[in-house]
A and B are shown apart, each in its own frame.
Chain A
């Protein structure tokens, strides 16, 4: 009898430790894909926001509470992009492991210098983020840093696989470094060119590749395009011979097409998140697609 118990407990112990994959929740798909690069098959990753939806306004679905309750690690943007939906979820999840400051919490914006930090907060300026623009992961150099933070958190929480996380991170880093040469070369001919965007989500991408993305179809962040503002944009595009308008999956394509047809520019489908465009299930594939699409449109 005792033997059987021993064997049983050994089996249970083995299966429990054997299956002890750490559970990771990423609020946004880009953070999720970086976590996948770093975690490989050692972690279970679930992502809350969909790659095609506006990540400022995600529903705080009750199922997310369960995912957060069970999480060993939470990766969030840390720059108030998710402020409209993450706080009530965390309140309800009651999981001290993922509190800010715990090893189980990765705030991606840590160590990143946010751009466009407003000097004064006024909602008259639209949906401006007080901490700075939170759409930073589209810069591959920043993505490396975020991936490194993630690797550190994974190692801290799951030290038995620390070597694997470190190796995965190094691999990702090397891949990005190599890819940066490719992307940089592809975008080099368009250095200094202006591009119009629907929403101000691209300052980091613009900065990385020397583009000038400071004209938007939205008159102010989060405010829908008005006819008078679009008229100004059209005039500016004609004057500066701007060739591309980048929009995200959830933006009103018709508005962008209207502007494009009266200026001769092309509408370029962009996405901040892997999975937001066809065949972009990884971070590298996403940036590949962005670079390919934009350089094709600017040619």
Chain B
């Protein structure tokens, strides 16, 4: 019995000296040394307790006394102060008892988060120094040069140290087609325009917080025309509020209208190498965008619903069906009246409502209705109205890796009523009203991480003009199939096949046309994440 007490005392003595030798380095300052005195006092107290416990045990004559050193442990969580002392002494008895597993670790949890620390370190100052110092080489060396909460700044990398995200993305396409005039077959300005190689969208995208009140975005697009001359366009440049109440947001500048699904997105996010017929012909080859302002309101409903309303000049090629003088002053074969806005009704008004619900945890549905209303340039009082409806359904596996597998079905339909006047000086023989409509529907199946197969059907009905033929007023349809490989989210390679159903006409060399596109893309830098 006495032997055990002797052992215990010896152990304690060793522990005490080891604790003392361990203590000094961090305790160089005076408050620390007073804490040390306190710790020692506590230690003595705990040793006394230990001795008493041991004595009790000896009295009880329990046979398995070797293990009794572990009585330390239940005591520990009760009193943080004794815990310090006891665990400080744990390295010594470790031969007979398992050492306590550390419950704090200054190597992973920094001590500079102010209030955390006040609690954190005083409550749990266990034997972290010995444990973490030995087992922590990697992180501690990595942290040498940096402050505790701030990660190491990275030059040319992580956007946390820049005032804006800067990215560059470039889309190229190698095209083969049975149609010689690919630029007449394809309806979008960023679509492949010639047989051979095409570089129709190299885009510099910038975004970031302007100040506490605004965010700013800019997309500057460079493209090469068929003779390889560089064209530049300010595709988007706008600021947007961040602090308005009641779910309101205002944006102003040059921007894509929120009309349907595809119009507001940039070509590199498209799931096909070219734009749908209905978008190119009704909203225009450049999409519907312009200088203006937009207000949107997230309704205070328990499901997602948003109202968006934009006003823009609607002038020129990017206001295609509106105040667009057309190429060489001709639109739908009429000499156009290029005029300034004289009243509010000369602007384009673009309302949209969209709502979303989740049929299940893995499925999402988004429905939208859009409109675009304004005047056109074929007469002095000629109106254009475009209506659109869109549907997006997406299923994504609950065990998705990298966002795969998924199934996505997207459909848009549009109707345009275009009052075509008699043009400049009533030079065209008749007034007509064109009622045009069209739709596309596309199905994407991401069957494996990085791999997507897609199928798209396009239909466009253009009302025939009584007097003229126009390249842009052909009724037509198309089917497309493609396979896309995304090595990462920063690159892609896409092979697409298009079959165009066309009536014989004077604008294209062939009737039906077959085309194959090999598209490739890369993104550099910090590119803003995309909306759903």
A positions within 8 Å CB-CB of B: 50, 52-54, 56-57, 59-63, 65-66, 69, 80, 83-88, 91-94, 96, 99, 110-123, 126-127, 130-132, 136, 139, 141-142, 144-145, 148-149, 152, 173-174, 176-178, 180-181, 183-185, 188, 204, 207-208, 210, 222-224, 249-252
Contact = CB atoms under 8 A, between A and B. Distances in A.
B491 to A, nearest CB: 9
Interface string B154-182: 11111110000000000000000000000
A112 B108 contact: yes
A190 to B, nearest CB: 14
Nearest to A60: B532
Given A50-B398, A63-B304, A130-B157, A207 B139 contact: yes
Contact of B109 (A63, A94, A112): A112
B402 A112 contact: no
Contact of A141 (B73, B108, B135): B108
Interface residues of B, number: 78
B139 A115 contact: yes
Across chains A and B, which 7 residue pairs bring their CB atoms closest together, nearest first? A121-B157, A184-B101, A130-B158, A111-B113, A62-B356, A57-B403, A62-B304
A201 to B, nearest CB: 12
Contacts of A121: 154, 156-158
A66 B303 contact: yes
A115 B113 contact: no
Interface string B378-410: 000000000000000010111111110000000
Interface stretch (B42-50, B115-123, B277-285, B509-517): B115-123
A57 B402 contact: yes
Contacts of B329: none
Contacts of B73: 181
Given A84-B529, A111-B112, A115-B142, A222 B488 contact: yes
A186 B500 CA distance: 67
Contacts of A141: 102-105, 108-109
Contacts of B357: 63
A210 B120 CA distance: 23
B332 interface: no
Interface in B81-128: 98, 100-105, 107-110, 112-113, 115-117, 119-120, 123-124
A136 B109 CA distance: 10
B158 A80 contact: yes
B94 to A, nearest CB: 12
Contacts of B488: 123, 126-127, 222-223
Contact of A250 (B149, B242, B399): B399
Contacts of B115: 152
A111 B116 contact: yes
A222 B124 CA distance: 37
A85 B529 contact: yes
Given A88-B531, A94-B247, A181-B101, 5 more contacts: A92-B298, A115-B139, A184-B101, A222-B488, A250-B401
Contacts of B149: 110-111
Interface of B: 73, 77, 98, 100-105, 107-110, 112-113, 115-117, 119-120, 123-124, 135-136, 138-139, 142-143, 148-149, 151-152, 154-160, 215, 240, 242-244, 247-249, 298, 301-304, 354, 356-358, 361, 364, 366, 394, 396-403, 449-450, 488-490, 528-532
Contact of A62 (B109, B143, B532): B532
B356 A61 contact: yes
Nearest to A84: B529
Given A94-B298, A148-B116, A132 B108 contact: no
B113 A149 contact: yes
A257 to B, nearest CB: 16
A75 B101 CA distance: 29
A256 B157 CA distance: 33
A188 B156 CA distance: 42
A61 B109 contact: no
Nearest to B524: A123
A53 B119 contact: no
Contacts of A92: 298, 531
Given A60-B531, A92-B531, A141-B103, A111 B399 contact: no
B185 to A, nearest CB: 34
29 contacts: A56-B402, A59-B396, A60-B531, A61-B358, A62-B364, A66-B303, A66-B304, A86-B529, A88-B532, A94-B249, A96-B242, A96-B243, A113-B110, A113-B143, A115-B138, A118-B154, A121-B156, A122-B157, A142-B108, A145-B113, A152-B115, A173-B123, A177-B103, A178-B77, A180-B101, A181-B73, A207-B139, A250-B399, A250-B400
A62 B393 CA distance: 12
A62 B366 contact: yes
Contacts of B148: 111, 113
Nearest to B489: A84
A222 B143 CA distance: 25
A149 B116 contact: yes
Contacts of A210: 135
A69 B247 CA distance: 8
A180 B401 contact: no
A131 B356 CA distance: 34
B403 A59 contact: yes
A116 B115 CA distance: 26
Given A59-B532, A114-B151, A177-B124, A131 B400 contact: no
Contacts of B394: 59
Q: Which of A59, A113, A117, A249 has the most CB of B within 10 A?
A: A113
A252 B449 CA distance: 10
B103 A176 contact: yes
Nearest to B304: A62
B80 to A, nearest CB: 10
A188 B98 contact: yes
Given A60-B529, A87-B529, A52 B101 contact: no
A152 B116 contact: yes
Nearest to A100: B209
A234 B530 CA distance: 38
Given A53-B400, A63-B356, A249-B399, A120 B116 contact: no
B154 A120 contact: yes
Contacts of A86: 529
A111 B356 contact: no
B102 to A, nearest CB: 7
A122 to B, nearest CB: 8
B154 A130 contact: yes
A85 B489 CA distance: 13
Contacts of B117: 111
Contacts of A69: 247, 298
Contacts of B354: 62
A202 to B, nearest CB: 14
